[in-house]
Amino acid sequence: MITADLLGIESRSIFVIDKAFAKKDYVPLDLSKDNKVLRSVDVASSDKLGEYVNEQIQLKGGKIAFGGYLETRNIYQRSAYFNQKTLPEDERNIHLGVDIWVEAGTNVLAALDGEVHSFNNNLNHGDYGPTIILKHSQGDFCYYTLYGHLSEESLLELKIGKRFKQGEAIAQLGSSEVNGDYPPHLHFQIILDIENYLGDYPGVSSLKTLEFYKKNCPDPNLLLGLT
């Protein structure tokens, strides 16, 4: 069982999006296949999905939306990248991070003190687009945080090993043109064992591999405290 203590975290109210948005501005967003309202939204269209997200934010009186850890979603059916399956249990549709929905250009902050492990522009349709992975050391124990769907400019000045302080801006959110064709949002994920990945790590699991990924990618709300 992964706890905040093991990760060396003193507070569950860490920010990964510009602190201009207070925690009270965050409202939950359900993008699961069980959300019946979503069945009438063309989720394959980033514009239509974006309209739905913004409507939900307004309806709930917030400024920014969040959600998605271990949510089973239909949205990935639009991408060949997620659909190289032959059996239903191989379908990759279970989300392993938290998504935070807010406009492009918004600052993304380092969750904790750390250094750049790797970065890459992941260009498959429905993929992360520009992505940064930070490495955090806690005694002998290392773990990682992944930030996906960033702007292309966010990667320009970056170097592996560059250090960031907790709360420092590491990037800005990208638009749908560069972020894998989604409404602007941050995909934020904790990764314990990064395996051999560089600038990328699965953010969506199939049912078959879920037991492994659930353990390797604990709930980001251990840090964010949004739920």
Q: Given the rule CB under 5 A, which residues bind Zn ion?
A: 97, 99, 187
| Closest CB 49 distance from Zn ion, rounded Å | 12
Q: Which of 55, 57, 76 is nearest to 65 (CA)?
A: 57
- What b/e string do you get for 205-214 counting C-beta neighbours within 10 Å, with b at 16 or more? bbeeeeeebe
CB of 140 to Zn ion, least distance (A): 30
From the CB of 80, what's the least distance to Zn ion, in Å?
18
Cα(150)–Cα(176) distance, integer angstroms: 10
Residue nearer to Zn ion on the CB measure, 97 or 202: 97
Identify which of residues 14 and 204 has a Cβ nearer to Zn ion in the complex: 204
14, 109 Cβ separation under 8 angstroms? no
How far apart, in whole angstroms, are the C-alpha atoms of residue 187 and residue 98?
Answer: 6
The C-alpha atoms of residue 37 and residue 55 are separated, in whole angstroms, by 12
Smallest distance from the beta carbon of 205 to Zn ion, in angstroms? 12
Closest CB to Zn ion: residue number? 187
What values do phi and psi take at 132, rounded to 5?
Answer: -125, 140
Q: How far is the CB of 64 from Zn ion (least distance, A)?
A: 15
Q: Output 65 or 165, the one with its CB closest to Zn ion.
A: 65
Nearer to Zn ion, 62 or 203 (CB): 203
From the list 81, 99, 82, 100, the residue with the least C-alpha distance to 91 is 82
- Closest to Zn ion by CB, 91 or 99: 99
